[in-house]
Structure 1
């Protein structure tokens, strides 16, 4: 009888210990209440992770500005300064024969066989004021003579003559740019384009006239 009581006490103790162990493991109170049990470590709230935007890439729907070198603005063109007022050509007097010196020139003083003289005219205004003069081919005349014998005249077979009015400033020389070449033959209005007599060796003179003003004779030699 006594043994049965002791056995019952042992069984009860075992049940109590087992129940305590079960409660420690199961912890039914964790599902109750609004907070964590004391001593529990707080859980960090999740943070929004910023999204990296790739460098140089535009967001969807936003136009990417196009970079371009600035176009340099053109500098303002300087305005030309107004020229100093001077006399208009219409107010300048025509050169009178006494105000102008005309000179006949050849490129050489002596020519060998086959060399052709090149003839030019120069004009100088000897007055103290500018004047205008027609120096075109329509007013020019070249004459080559041997003594009193006229060998060649530029107007005998001239074509396409023209006028050219220029202003002659005081003391300034104006000369023909392209020389007139003498082919060393005798000219006449009847022999243009035909074979003509060849000039013989000897001394010749050149006289020119332009705008009604005559030059002095310039001598040269054909060999």
Structure 2
């Protein structure tokens, strides 16, 4: 009497899971191998152009194409020559009085001295039309030669370097206050008794650097 073989023992679920995992890992390994064959790690994506043959032209412009900056112009000082107009740079104007102290009744005589301090002969108008004598005490203006000037003239003179010229005829100040409205009739006498005054002179637009001080008694 034959006996039937015993039925195969059913495997546990853990065994089936391990088998499925092994099969899945095998498939993943095959896929990775195929990808590595296609991609070929370490090689570049496509052929690189030859550096020498395919190099792009330089973007640096040729030096000859660049705009040239204009040359720098250095200003030069104009050279003075004989016959140029006198300026405050090469001429000094000095206010002059015949005294520094005037007693009662004495009238100051006002004049001017002009000196060319440059190296060349210069020309200026030294006539009475270009002269302005001003007498002040402090900031107050007392007298000015142009207020009631009569028949002013122009007189162009050439100044030789280092040779001063002075007024040929001084202006006499009568110690009165002047204005353009007081040219006719008597004028008011200025304060005296030791009062201090300053004379300033301008010739052809060039002013005296300092004033000349004097006193009236």
How would you bin the TM-score normalised by the shorter chain?
0.5 to 0.7
In structure 1, what is the equivalent of residue 212 of structure 2?
218
In structure 2, what is the equivalent of residue 203 of structure 1?
196
Work out which of the residue numbers 180, 183, 186 in structure 2 matches 1:189: 180
Rg (Cα) greater in structure:
1
In structure 1, what is the equivalent of residue 130 of structure 2?
139
Number of paired residues? 134
Q: Give deviations 1:156-203, integer Å, cap 9, x for gaps.
A: 000101110011000000111100000000000001021111011100
In structure 2, what is the equivalent of residue 110 of structure 1?
101
Work out which of the residue numbers 141, 144, 153 in structure 2 matches 1:162: 153
| TM-score w.r.t. length of structure 1 | 0.59
Distance of 1:173 and 1:167 partners within structure 2: 11
In structure 1, what is the equivalent of residue 119 of structure 2?
128
Distance of 2:103 and 2:188 partners within structure 1: 18
In structure 1, what is the equivalent of residue 76 of structure 2?
none
Distance of 1:154 and 1:91 partners within structure 2: 32
Alignment of 1:13-92 (within 5 A): 92=83
Is residue 132–residue 202 contact of structure 2 (8 Å, CA) maintained in 1? yes
In structure 2, what is the equivalent of residue 5 of structure 1?
none
Distance of 1:196 and 1:116 partners within structure 2: 15
Q: Tell me by how many angstroms 1:112 deviates.
A: 0.4
Q: Give deviations 1:71-116, integer Å, cap 9, x for gaps.
A: xxxxxxxxxxxxxxxxxxx961111221100000000000000000
Distance of 1:115 and 1:95 partners within structure 2: 35
| TM-score w.r.t. length of structure 2 | 0.60
Question: How big is the alpha-carbon RMSD for the aligned residues of Structure 1 and Structure 2?
Answer: 1.2
